[in-house]
Amino acid sequence: MDSRKTRMRKVPLRIAALIVGLALISTVTVSSMVASFLAAEAETSYYDYREALPVTVTVAGETTVHYTVYRTPWTILNSLGYDLSAGDYIIYPWAYEWIDLPAEITLTRTHYEIVHEHVDVPYIIFDWENHTMDVGDYRYLRGGQCGVVSRHTYIRYYDGVEVYRAVWGEEELIEMIPAIRYVGTRGRPLTNRLFRDTPRAQGFTYSRSFIAEATAYDPSLTFPRTPITFTGAVARRGLIATDPRVIPMGTRMYITCPNGTWSYGFAVAADTGGAIRGYKVDLFMCTRAEALQFGRRQVKVYILD
């Protein structure tokens, strides 16, 4: 019983101690708030009563001199009445950098636009050699047609002056069709011709020739299936893939590099491909190593008589 009475007498003392503690905490919080307020007032007074110094401001090529007590370009420009929220600006020095006065500040207005326009694409001319025609003569086998693309151009301006331009994309509206013409070669000097790898050096004649882009075909891509060409033949060296609109199936050819220093040799157009459009050919190689070594390069294609 005595112990219980003792604990009961201590309850009022504990309540009184709690009240005193809360009062002390409140006093500390109020003191902190007062100190922060006084510090803010002191900072304001620092700006208000400090001597104003000159700052040179250049906007759109026009330079003016002002006096200010502030030390960051953003604050200085706002205090001078420049509305920086009305557009995109480049501020130098950096807008929030602390600077020492006197100083120079440059304000550049920047904006961009995307221009959509239709652009003509002039057609190109492919020359095919024809040894039955004299040098200097030519005859068009097919006329060309100019194409049209819709071009989207990004343009960036600084103070109204264009500083950057880039094409973001193009959409083909009308396809460009190249012209093809025969160019005569009869009577042309034959200096060193027989020392180059050409059909004539091999004892064959050709009706025309042209430059094409060749890609080596890797036979291991179809393993373990046996690769079969479009014409039904088993793919092997000498059977190549072409665009039938340019080189019809069954056409006999002789393929060398443009300067005749090496050759793929005799070939027959026997296959097609989804990526083979225009003056492109795929050359079947015997091994993967051979295909990797060849890769992709330009070749000269002779259409044999």
70-100 tens-digit pLDDT:
888 988 888 888 888 766 888 888 888 888 8
Select the more confidently predicted residue: 271 or 51. Answer: 271
Alpha helices in 135-281, H assignment, sequence order = none
Beta strands in the chain (DSSP E): 53-59, 62-68, 88-92, 103-121, 125-134, 138-142, 147-158, 161-174, 179-186, 206-217, 239-241, 252-256, 263-271, 280-284, 296-304
- Span 138-162, pLDDT tens digits: 888 888 889 898 999 999 999 888 9
Residue 296, beta-bridge partner list: 215
How much is the average pLDDT of 208-230?
73
Q: Are 112 and 154 in contact (CB under 8 A)?
A: yes
* Confidence at 220, pLDDT banded by 50, 70, 90: low
Sign of CA dihedral 180, 184, 188, 193: positive
Name which of 7-16, 228-237, 267-276 the model is least confident about: 7-16
pLDDT greater than 60 at residue 47: no
Query: Quick one: fold of 53-111?
Result: Ubiquitin-like (UB roll) (3.10.20)
Torsions phi, psi of 94, nearest 5? -55, 140
Give the pLDDT confidence score for residue 20 in this predicted structure. Answer: 60
Q: What is the CATH number of domain 196-304?
A: 2.40.40.10
pLDDT greater than 90 at residue 230: no
- Span 100-137, pLDDT tens digits: 888 899 988 888 899 999 999 888 887 777 777 787 88
Give the pLDDT confidence score for residue 109 in this predicted structure. Answer: 87
Task: Give dist(CA 234, CA 207) in Å, integer.
Answer: 28
Q: Are 236 and 283 in contact (CB under 8 A)?
A: no
* Confidence at 44, pLDDT banded by 50, 70, 90: very low
User: Could you count the other beta carbons within 10 Å of the beta carbon of residue 150?
Assistant: 13
Burial 49-78 (b: 16+ CB within 10 A, else e): eeeeeebebebeeeeeebebbbbbbbebbe
Task: Give dist(CA 67, CA 61) in Å, integer.
Answer: 20
pTM of the model: 0.40
Give the pLDDT confidence score for residue 49 in this predicted structure. Answer: 44
**Residue of 226, 225, 227 lying closest to 240 (CA atoms):** 227
Domain boundaries, the chain: 1-49, 53-111, 196-304
Q: Are 122 and 178 in contact (CB under 8 A)?
A: no
**Cα-based angle 50, 51, 53 (whole degrees, multiple of 5):** 125
- Span 162-206, pLDDT tens digits: 988 888 888 889 888 888 888 877 765 544 443 455 666 566 778
Give the pLDDT confidence score for residue 40 in this predicted structure. Answer: 42
Most confident of 177-181, 189-193, 215-219, 258-262: 177-181
> SS3 for 127?
strand
